[in-house]
Amino acid sequence: AQSVTQLDSQVPVFEEAPVELRCNYSSSVSVYLFWYVQYPNQGLQLLLKYLSGSTLVESINGFEAEFNKSQTSFHLRKPSVHISDTAEYFCAVSVTGGGNKLTFGTGTQLKVEL
């Protein structure tokens, strides 16, 4: 069985500062990796995903994540955050041939302050 660990439950950061949200996974088979964002009182939205190919993936709003197979990590980064990035971020994994089931981490609350 696979698992996902998000070590940081909360990350406070000042606006325009860089941020990294950590995600590590455990799986005995190949995986697909996802980052979802949940704004207050809204559903989860896909931020970015790694399926294959380039290990560095980017979102349209400036986030990026890099798949590191040797370290079994998929950390999310943004060089300069905005107030509007305040949300809950979930890392998730699905295994190839696993029926598209997602296993989620416990989430990281990103709070951007002025």
Partner 1 sequence: GAVVSQHPSRVICKSGTSVKIECRSLDFQATTMFWYRQFPKQSLMLMATSNEGSKATYEQGVEKDKFLINHASLTLSTLTVTSAHPEDSSFYICSAYSGLAGNEQFFGPGTRLTVL
Q: In the complex, which residues of this chain contact partner 1 (CB under 8 A)?
A: 4, 9, 32, 36, 41-46, 49, 51, 90, 94, 99-107
Contact 43, 56 (CB under 8 A): no
For partner 1, which is the closer residue by CB, 15 or 73?
A: 73
**Smallest separation, CB 18 to partner 1 (Å):** 26
Give me the half-sphere count of Cα atoms (radius 13 Å) on the Cβ side of residue 66: 6
- Residue 28 CA to residue 51 CA, distance in Å, equals 16
For partner 1, which is the closer residue by CB, 94 or 112?
A: 94
For partner 1, which is the closer residue by CB, 34 or 112?
A: 34
Contact 67, 55 (CB under 8 A): yes
**Smallest separation, CB 64 to partner 1 (Å):** 18
Helix (H, G, I), strand (E, B) or coil at 85: helix
Helix (H, G, I), strand (E, B) or coil at 83: helix
**Smallest separation, CB 79 to partner 1 (Å):** 25
